[in-house]
């Protein structure tokens, strides 16, 4: 079976990773890839890492979206605010996976507060399910439209879901999360310019990061979540990777071995979650779809460490993982990606 695929927004980092993964996916055939500013250029000319792997060319987004009904799946890898304009016009028979934040939040007011714009397609939003594969697998399996999680949300939720599902937390949760510069997108900006970032370290969006409501919304679906969440994000002087330190307190003494056993059971069917001794390292998950999780404990104090590649497990890889589920394929198909050493 070859799935006919379209990618809207193929010139950014998320689109580039979708291309890298799907070009080698045994069940995928990319029929259309859009990038208005690069229309007419070869994919390999824009993404030099893909030179020689495809004859595809970027095109402008088609005006008549209803005519795309011969496709099986459309990935929307567009800046926030654009997918909500496109998704309502796409054929109902085509499955959609949106990598932006447009359809993650069920509350229009929360969306406006955190994304700084009105949501213009809330009727369509109700058709989307939240695509954190490891916690929402059965819902994704039957879904026709999926909102892919944010990168920080993925790293945080995978580190908290087993604890919340088992009602083990007794106080506020503090998440100290750090990300590489690719999380800000391919277009240069003051905060991602190399001379600014290469030897620097700083916090940004304290208390107001757009992934906070997404995290809390999903935790309430996982279990009983009434805890206070303190969520802080920081800029790392690296290109790829997210590392999250999640500080919790459990209702009873809980050792690192206890945490490992709990997480091993919760993620027993989740190939892409790896439990490590001590701390994970972003180097070992770069370019892969893995989330590595480690633990440290003292009495009732438990720290969960998570590491992902923000562009793969935090974006394109998880999107393909969801696509595999939606079409009855093995989750791992096309995603057996290894990191480098060193």
Closest to 166 measured CA to CA, from 253, 263, 255: 263
* Neighbouring C-beta atoms of residue 224, cutoff 10 Å: 12
**What residue spans of the chain are helical by DSSP H?**
13-22, 43-46, 83-86, 108-115, 122-125, 133-141, 151-165, 194-197, 211-222, 256-266, 317-326
Strand (E) or helix (H) holding 5: strand 3-8
Contacts of 63 (CB under 8 A, 6+ apart): none
* φ and ψ of 192, to 5 deg: -115, 0
CA distance 115 to 80: 8
Please choose, from the candidates 206, 205, 184, the residue with its C-alpha nearest in 3D space to the C-alpha of residue 193: 184
For the chain, helix, strand, coil in percent to 5 are 35, 20, 45
Q: Catalogue the E-assigned strands of 210-286.
A: 229-235, 242-249, 273-275
Q: Which residue among the candidates 73, 151, 171, 291 is catalytic per the annotation?
A: 151
- 171: annotated active-site residue: no
* Catalytic positions: 151
């Amino acid at each position: 079976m070859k799935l006919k695929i379209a990618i809207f927004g193929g010139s950014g980092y998320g689109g580039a990773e979708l291309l890298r993964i799907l070009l080698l996916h045994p069940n995928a055939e990319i029929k259309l890839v859009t990038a208005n500013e690069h229309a007419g250029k070869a994919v390999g000319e824009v993404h030099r890492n893909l030179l020689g792997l495809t004859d595809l060319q970027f095109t402008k987004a088609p005006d008549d979206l209803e005519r795309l009904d011969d496709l099986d799946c459309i990935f929307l890898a567009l800046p926030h605010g654009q997918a909500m304009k496109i998704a309502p016009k796409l054929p109902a028979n085509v499955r959609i996976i949106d990598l932006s934040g447009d359809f993650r939040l069920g509350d229009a007011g929360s969306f406006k507060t955190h994304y700084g714009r009105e949501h213009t397609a809330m009727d369509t939003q109700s058709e989307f399910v939240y695509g954190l594969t490891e916690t929402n697998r059965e819902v994704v399996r039957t879904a026709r439209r999926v909102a892919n999680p944010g990168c920080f949300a993925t790293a945080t939720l995978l580190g908290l879901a087993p604890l919340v599902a088992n009602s083990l937390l007794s106080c506020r949760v503090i998440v100290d999360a750090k990300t590489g510069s690719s999380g800000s997108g391919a277009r240069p900006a003051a905060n991602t310019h190399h001379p600014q970032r290469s030897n620097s370290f700083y916090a940004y969006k304290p208390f107001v990061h757009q992934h906070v409501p997404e995290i809390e919304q999903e935790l309430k679906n996982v279990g009983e979540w009434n805890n206070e969440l303190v969520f802080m994000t920081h800029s790392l002087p690296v290109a790829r990777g997210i590392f999250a330190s999640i500080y919790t307190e459990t209702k009873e003494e809980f050792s690192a071995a206890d945490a490992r056993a709990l997480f091993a059971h919760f993620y027993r069917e989740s190939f892409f979650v790896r439990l490590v001794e001590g701390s994970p390292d972003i180097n070992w998950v770069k370019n892969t779809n893995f989330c590595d999780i480690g633990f440290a404990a003292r009495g009732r104090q438990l720290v969960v460490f998570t590491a992902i590649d923000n562009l793969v497990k935090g974006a394109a890889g998880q999107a393909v993982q969801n696509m595999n589920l939606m079409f009855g394929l093995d989750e791992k198909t096309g995603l057996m990606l290894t990191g480098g050493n060193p």
